[in-house]
Amino acid sequence: MQNIFDYDLKSLCSRFAELNIPKFRAKQVFLWLHKKLVFDFSLMSDLPLELREVLSQNFAIGLPRIIKTFKSKDKTIKFLFGLSDGTRIESVLLKSSDGRFTICVSTQVGCPLACAFCATGQSGFKRNLTASEIIGQVYLITKNFPGVTNIVYMGMGEPFLNYANVVKSINVLISKEGLNFGQRKISISTSGIPEKIRIFAAEDWQVRLAVSLNSADERIRSRLMPINKKIPLSRIKDAIKYYISRTGRRVTLEYIMIKDVNDTPDALVSLLDFCQGLLVNVNLIPFNSIGGSFKASEIKTVNLFLRTLINNKINVNLRNRRGEDIQAACGQLAFKPL
- Any idea which residues carry the catalytic annotation? 90, 330
**Which residue in the shown chain puts its C-beta closest to ligand SF4?**
121
SS3 of 90, please?
Answer: strand
Pick between residue 115 and residue 244 the one whose CB is nearest to ligand SF4. Answer: 115
Considering only 236, 290, 309, 326, the residue that binds ligand SAH (CB under 6 A) is: 290
Is residue 323 a contact residue for ligand SAH (CB under 6 A)? no
The Cα angle at residue 38 between residues 37 and 44, in degrees rounded to 5: 135
Q: In whole angstroms, how close is the CB of 118 to ligand SAH at the nearest point?
A: 4
Query: How many residues interact with ligand SAH (rule CB under 6 A)?
Result: 16
Pick between residue 21 and residue 119 the one whose CB is nearest to ligand SF4. Answer: 119
Is residue 120 a contact residue for ligand SF4 (CB under 6 A)? yes
Is residue 285 a contact residue for ligand SAH (CB under 6 A)? yes
Q: In whole angstroms, how close is the CB of 118 to ligand SF4 at the nearest point?
A: 3
Q: Minimal CA–CA distance to 92: which of 49, 3, 81, 168?
A: 81
189 annotated as ligand-binding: yes
Q: What are phi and psi of 242, to 5 degrees?
A: -60, -45
d(CA 102, CA 233): 30
- Give Cβ neighbours of residue 151 (< 8 Å, ≥ 6 apart): 102, 103, 105, 138, 173, 181, 185, 186, 187
DSSP state of 75: S
Is residue 254 a contact residue for ligand SAH (CB under 6 A)? yes
Q: In whole angstroms, how close is the CB of 219 to ligand SF4 at the nearest point?
A: 18
Give DSSP secondary structure letters for 221-259.
HHHH-GGGGTS-HHHHHHHHHHHHHHH---EEEEEEEBT
Which residues inside 41-70 make contact with ligand SF4, applying CB under 6 A? none
Q: Interface residues with ligand SF4 (CB under 6 A)?
A: 111, 113-115, 118, 120-121, 157-158, 191, 212
